Amino acid sequence: MSDQCRIVVTEALSSEALAWLRIRADVVECPATGSAFADALRSAQGLIVRTYTQVDEAVLMAAPHLLVVGRAGTGIDNIDVGACQRRGVAIVNTPSANRQAVVEYVTSILASTLRPQPTPITQGLTTEEWSAARRSAITTRQMSECTLGVLGFGNIGKRVAEVAQAIGFKTQFCDVADVPETHRSGVASVDLDTLLRTSDVLTIHVDGRPENRHFLTSALLDLLPMDVLLLNTSRGFIMRSADLAEAMASRPQAHAILDVHEIEPIPDGDPLLTSPNVTLLPHAASRTEAAQRAMSWVVREVWEVIEKKIST
């Protein structure tokens, strides 16, 4: 079957997953641009992508034999689901593969921001210097005094809330879905207005549905507390850079930390680049070796679909 089946891989996968797939199929690794990609698609039955390959109508038209698209990641924002459905192309992904990595990342940001470590001591200190060092280590907020709000209570958002509860945060969430009380892990469900107004820390974990594009409007951002800590590790397109820059400019005591961005790489001229209380990170929440390996094993799901469709 391997001589008959071609699978195109456009972004990096783990060496173990690629080796497993090569035993079973003709694997072509190439970026999703240029003539090499177009040539590979003509005979491809499988296509595996990660974050930056757009699987749209044009790609599907160039791949007349395509049976399945695999996304090595959580969401399928970059895949035209409707177009795939119309052509009978299956979509598979790895919805929980990076959950632990993202939760660790969010937790590390909370700790380093709300309870940063003092400057390490590298030489002997006088009594006065020792006292000054201890005074400078005082932080204004303790986590157990803060309310952490979660916008989007899926696999990752729920786990972030559970970890925050264990640390001592009061926790609350808002989600478009009606989450049964038995699945809330004791986290309070509140409406959006309450979540935005009363969360000392707001962490965003929304999915890629079209309704979430620019969901956090300027008017909604204006509801945030003046000293809010805002974290976004989910979807950059949930708000416009200009709207957030304006909201943060009116809140000099607030701090926004963004790991995802509407345009990646971040272009020159993005107003958040010059916002003094905004920290921009390079989309690194899932960048652990364990998460990368787990996401790469979408190859198994891709191969299962191909085997099933070829045998019927």
**Which tens digits make up the pLDDT trace of 292-307?**
999 999 999 999 999 9
Active site residues: 235, 264, 283
pLDDT score, position 67? 97
**Integer CA distances (angstroms), 172 to 113, 166, 169, 199, in order:** 20, 14, 10, 8
Residue 1: inside a domain, yes or no?
A: no
Going by pLDDT thresholds of 50, 70 and 90, the confidence category of residue 312 is confident
Torsion on CA atoms 115, 216, 199, 152, rounded to nearest 10: -90
Mean pLDDT of the 184-193 span: 97
Number of domains in the chain: 2
pLDDT score, position 1? 41
pLDDT score, position 311? 82
pLDDT score, position 2? 42
Measured from the Cβ of residue 294, the count of other Cβ atoms closer than 10 Å reads 21
- Helices 99-114 and 155-167: angle between axes, nearest 10 degrees: 40
State whether 133 and 266 are in the same domain.
yes
The answer to whether 125 touches 133, Cβ cutoff 8 Å, is yes
Please give the angle made by the CA atoms of 116, 119 and 148, to the nearest 5 degrees: 5
Domain assignment of residue 302, given as a range: 6-97+291-311
Residue 183: inside a domain, yes or no?
A: yes
State whether 33 and 80 are in the same domain.
yes
pLDDT for residue 220 is more than 80: yes
State whether 133 and 277 are in the same domain.
yes
How remote is the C-alpha of 71 from its chain's centroid?
Answer: 14
Which CATH number does the domain housing residue 261 bear? 3.40.50.720
Mean pLDDT of the 137-152 span: 96
Residue 43: inside a domain, yes or no?
A: yes
Q: Give, as one character, the DSSP assignment of residue 51.
A: S
pLDDT for residue 277 is more than 80: yes
**Mean pLDDT, the chain, as a whole number?**
96
Residue 20: inside a domain, yes or no?
A: yes
Residue 302: inside a domain, yes or no?
A: yes
pLDDT for residue 291 is more than 60: yes
State whether 65 and 209 are in the same domain.
no
The answer to whether 248 touches 273, Cβ cutoff 8 Å, is no
Residue 300: inside a domain, yes or no?
A: yes
Residue 280: inside a domain, yes or no?
A: yes
pLDDT score, position 3? 58
Residue 225: inside a domain, yes or no?
A: yes
pLDDT score, position 8? 98
pLDDT (tens digit per residue) in 151-160: 999 999 999 9
pLDDT (tens digit per residue) in 74-120: 889 999 999 999 999 999 999 999 999 999 999 999 999 999 999 99
pLDDT for residue 136 is more than 60: yes
Percent of the chain with pLDDT over 90: 96
The answer to whether 202 touches 229, Cβ cutoff 8 Å, is yes
The answer to whether 174 touches 195, Cβ cutoff 8 Å, is yes
State whether 160 and 79 are in the same domain.
no
Mean pLDDT of the 116-145 span: 95
Q: Which helix (H) or strand (E) holds 133?
A: helix 127-136
What pTM did the predictor assign? 0.92
Write down how long the chain is. 312
d(Cα 204, Cα 208) in Å, to the nearest integer?
Answer: 12
State whether 58 and 34 are in the same domain.
yes
pLDDT score, position 109? 98
